[in-house]
Amino acid sequence: MNRLLLATLAAVASLGIASAQDNGAGYVTLSFNGDIMTGSIKPEYDMLPNDGKDIFIDCDSIIRSVDVACGNLEGVLADNGKTRKRPGRLSFSFMMPTKSVKLLVDAGYDFMGIANNHINDFYPVAIQSTIKTLTDNGIGVAGTKDCETSIKEINGVKYGFCAFGHENYTLRTQDTVTVKRIVKKLRKECDIVIVCFHGGSEGLDQRHLPYGTEYFYKADRGNLRQFAHLCIDNGADVVYGHGPHVPRAIELYNGHLIAYSLGNFATPRGMKLHYQTAYAPLLVVRLDKEGKFVDGKIHSFIQVRDKGPRLDTTNSVAKDIRSLTEEDINDNRLNIADDGTITIKK
């Protein structure tokens, strides 16, 4: 057995879930997290020390240990351009320099969603720069009309990835016809189908998952329960979300896992980080050969200003998601232990 495989097996074992190699059962492991913005150069220069090289230092061993790692890029990867937003207290634009993609590559990411409200901060030219930069560096990307899906074969398993947001310049959670078409297409072509979404209202008072459509400053942010269930019903294996800037409940629906919001993850500059907005869960799941949830773990991290996600030794993040899940999910089928380990109720 080669050194890389030994290292991978050891790392996966440390997650508290069995290795994908166990018993030849065909299990795969995946990781998911919320918003990533590693430092911006426009409209103002706001970069981390050493260009953020240590941003993932506490969590990259976990990200690299799984078969597939997925996140959400909250901003663009470009080196120049003019913001389309007017200056103001509630105006935020994020341009990461293209060289920052190396941080994502080195951390071990395979897919990145871009269907969010910051992907058009610097007009479509910056969207195209983002897509090209990620693609050129081997990271699958999806979430806009000219970049609907990404498919990658990893260790003999074909993974399909798609992403939806709530803006007219992204694929939208509200467009059920398009959602069904894309998910069904991936189901026919891939072994494992992953859906990423950016939706919901924002802020500390939005931790609980509502029923019905959510609004933020009167803007439609989607009916997320309905959207997530629709994706599973049409062939998705895992659905993970972000957008409210705080974690929300997780749900086991028809044997498949939904994470309604994984909040912020690596946004140590340009965003408020206090209380649950600093919570940075890293969700690892194990799926069987049919794409159904077997078990998993919520790794607890808390963001530190100017640094990034740092280990939460009290597991307060996992405990918070447990409480939200128990309160917000009727007929909850999941057990979440103090250390974040997730199992299915007997």
pLDDT means over runs of 10, the chain (346 residues): 37 46 73 97 93 97 98 97 76 93 98 97 97 98 97 97 97 98 98 98 97 95 98 98 98 98 95 93 97 98 97 98 98 98 97
User: Which residues pair with residue 61 across a beta bridge?
Assistant: none
Residue 34's alpha-carbon distances to 22, 139, 197, 241, 266, in angstroms, are: 29, 16, 10, 7, 8
Number of Cβ atoms within 10 Å of the Cβ of 289: 12
Stated length of the chain: 346
- pLDDT, residue 6, reads 34
State residue 255's pLDDT score.
Answer: 98
pLDDT score for 12: 47
Using CA atoms in the order 327, 328, 334, 340, what is the torsion angle rounded to 10 degrees? -70
**Cα distance between the two ends of the chain:** 36
- Structure tokens, 245: 């800037």
By C-alpha distance, which of 252, 201, 251, 193 is closest to 223? 201
Q: How many CA atoms does the CB half-sphere of 215 hold within 13 Å?
A: 3
Please tell me the predicted confidence (pLDDT) of residue 84: 84
The span from the CA of 271 to the CA of 66, in Å, is 28
Measured over the CA atoms of residue 249, residue 171, residue 221 and residue 133, the dihedral's sign is positive
Task: Read off the DSSP letter of residue 51.
Answer: G
pTM: 0.93
In one-letter notation, the amino acid at residue 212 is G
| 181 contacts 145 by C-beta, under 8 angstroms | no
CA distance 65 to 122: 34
Rounded to whole angstroms, the Cα distance separating 123 from 189 reads: 32
